Chains A and B, each alone.
Chain A
Amino acid sequence: MASGSEEGSGFPADDYESLIATTDVELLKRAWRNEKAAPEILHFQTALVQRSREQIQLMEETVEEFGENGTDPLTVSLYQMDLDRTQFLLRSYLRIRLQKIEKYMFHILKTDVWSRLSEQEQKFAKRCTDDMERHLEQSVLSRLPDGYQSILKQSVASEEDDMVPEPRLDTFVFCKSKGSIEAFQLDDSKEVVDLVADDLYILRYNSVKPLIESGQIDLV
């Protein structure tokens, strides 16, 4: 679902805008902003990350070649800056995801959020939870009375897993819509709003989640 659905959504009619909006850097920037602003971890942008990695690698080789064949140092430094900016975006994107995984690992592990992680992220999450479980087990849980030793529950009396930190999905996010969306239903209320293209709104994350996934709105 990563990039395919995003590219299909309606871009502004302005040719130049839409041309810019389709570069991978622009898509990566959008993914980075969304990931940063969303309370929970979003779907990993597999194809986009793969493409960005390839472009970064290609550019690294180009810059190296430039160094060898005596290209004007100014040009080289500009290519290097562009490279640095793209690398920053990619690294920051991956890091925010790791932070979220660390924060919500038990929640991620026991829900279908698990499928939003990349293969490497799943490995990381598994190792994280294993380590954390072992650590808590050794330092605290094993010394507690029977019935209080679960890592997920306060005690056996708890019906739900009440010791698992979960992201707050009812929080509010700042977002911008790319096209106009008429009579958009805000989840639990009967209210509807018309979202005008390019205007800034503060809405409940829960209610706009599908629009983020379909790429119709961006978090800012």
Chain B
Amino acid sequence: MAGQSDPYISLFSAQEVEFLGEDEMVEIVPNMRMDPLNLICGDFGPFRPQIATQVPLWLAVALKKRGKCTIRPPEWMSVDKLTQVLEAERNSLREFQPLPFHYVEIARLLSDHARDDIPDVYMVRSLIEDIRNVRFHKVETGLETIHERTHAVKLKNLSAMEANIVRPFVVRALQAFYKHDSPEMIPQPDTTAIRRRQVADRGPKRDRRY
């Protein structure tokens, strides 16, 4: 998407969003003994073989990379659950299904680093991909409802990565509408929203020609 390289336009880089996602908690089953860790971000452990414990994702991945634990994928990351989510996602035109705020990043990190701990990892991956696509399409259709009197947009259940990607466009669109919003424009139902949108799209180009 345009503008992603510009730190002022796209606020968070993909790595920064991932960084935030790495603080989500997951359950691991260690295969070694280690004393509790008293970290700045919290206390975790003790770690005992075969005894499950909760740690942040970054810690889980670090241990996993060294072969010190298995990661228990979160409940929503099963083929069953994801199939249901995908179906519901397809059946509902406007609403987003509740998924963790960082589901994209969690799924990516786990399927990159803990492939052997996720049953049917390829299926899970492709389901996540499908869900992302359906949701994205929905975001795009949803944007068409933005019009000149839009003061607030509610995006229930939109995830961190999704929000970050649409942000540059949405913010600019809302700013443009806000700027061109003048009292003599009396909103008419239905068609006006779409017509105005096209006008706004063409606006900048026309300006440049003059």
Query: How distant is B45 from chain A, measured CB to nearest CB, in Å?
Result: 10
Which among B34, B155, B178 is the interface contact of A200 at CB below 8 angstroms?
A: B155
Among the stretches A76-84, A115-123, A128-136, A153-161, the one at the interface with B is A76-84
**Would you call A174 and B167 a contact (CB within 8 A)?**
yes
Partner of B11, one of A23, A37, A200: A37
| Contact indicator per residue, chain B 21-45, by CB within 8 Å of chain A (1) or not (0) | 0010000000000110101111000
Q: Counting CB contacts under 8 A, is A29 at the interface?
A: yes
Contact, CB under 8 Å: B39 / A172: no
B174 interface residue (CB < 8 Å to A): yes
User: Are A75 and B58 in contact, CB atoms less than 8 angstroms apart?
Assistant: no
The smallest beta-carbon distance between B171 and chain A, in angstroms, is 5
Residue numbers in B under 8 Å from A110 (CB-CB): none
A172 engages B170 (CB within 8 Å): yes
Of the listed stretches B83-91, B110-118, B146-154, name the one at the interface; the rest are far from the partner chain. B146-154
CB distance from A195 to the nearest CB of B (A): 9
Per-position 1/0 for B132-163, Cβ under 8 A of A: 00000000000000000001111111101001
Q: Name the A residues within 8 Å of B171 (CB-CB).
A: 171-173, 202
Q: How far is the CA of A20 from the CA of B171 in the complex (A)?
A: 31
Q: Helix, strand, loop or mixed for chain B's interface? A: mixed
B68 contacts A74, C-beta separation under 8 Å = yes
Contact of A201 among B12, B68, B154 (CB under 8 A): B154
Contact B62 A78 (CB under 8 A): yes
Given A29-B23, A78-B37, the answer on whether A200 and B42 have CB atoms closer than 8 Å is no
Pair B151/A25 contact, Cβ less than 8 Å:
no
- B156: nearest residue on chain A (CB-CB)? A199
* Residues of the B chain whose Cβ atoms lie less than 8 Å from the Cβ of A77: 62
Across the interface, do B170 and A202 meet the contact criterion of CB distance under 8 Å?
A: yes
The answer to whether B35 touches A75 (Cβ under 8 A) is yes
- Asked whether A200 and B156 contact (CB < 8 A) given A74-B68, A172-B171, A174-B167, the answer is yes
With contacts A77-B62, A81-B62 taken as known, whether A193 is within 8 angstroms of B40 at the C-beta atoms is no
| Distance in Å: Cβ of B25 to nearest Cβ of chain A | 8
Nearest-Cβ distance from residue B149 to partner chain A, whole angstroms: 8
Q: A25-B40, A200-B154, A203-B152 are in contact. Are A81 and B58 (CB under 8 A)?
A: yes
- Tell whether, in the assembled complex, residue A171 and residue B156 are in contact, meaning their CB atoms are under 8 Å apart: no
Contact check: which of A37, A79, A203, A204 meets B39 at CB < 8 Å?
A: A79
Q: Which single member of B59, B163, B174 contacts A78 (CB below 8 Å)? A: B59
Q: Tell me the bound Cα distance from A24 to B41 in angstroms.
A: 8
Chain B residues with CB under 8 Å of A186's CB are: 151-152
Instruction: Select B34's contact among A75, A82, A204, beta carbons within 8 Å.
Output: A75
A173 vs B152: C-alpha distance when bound (angstroms)? 10
A200-B163 CB under 8 A given contacts A81-B62, A170-B178, A186-B152: yes
Q: Min CB distance, B42 to chain A, in Å? A: 6
In the bound complex, CA of A19 to CA of B20 (Å): 18
CB < 8 Å neighbour of B154 from A24, A36, A86, A199: A199
- Min Cβ gap A143→B in Å is 31
In addition to A24-B40, A59-B40, A204-B178, 19 A-B residue pairs with Cβ atoms within 8 Å of each other are A20-B42, A29-B20, A36-B11, A74-B68, A78-B62, A79-B39, A81-B58, A86-B40, A86-B41, A170-B178, A171-B175, A172-B178, A174-B167, A186-B151, A191-B152, A193-B152, A199-B157, A201-B155, A202-B155
Chain A to chain B contacts (Cβ below 8 Å), 24 pairs: A23-B42, A25-B41, A37-B11, A78-B59, A78-B62, A81-B62, A82-B37, A82-B39, A85-B19, A85-B58, A170-B178, A171-B171, A172-B170, A173-B171, A193-B154, A199-B157, A200-B157, A200-B158, A201-B152, A201-B154, A202-B154, A202-B170, A202-B174, A203-B153
Nearest first, the 3 closest Cβ-Cβ pairs linking A and B are A82-B39, A202-B153, A25-B41
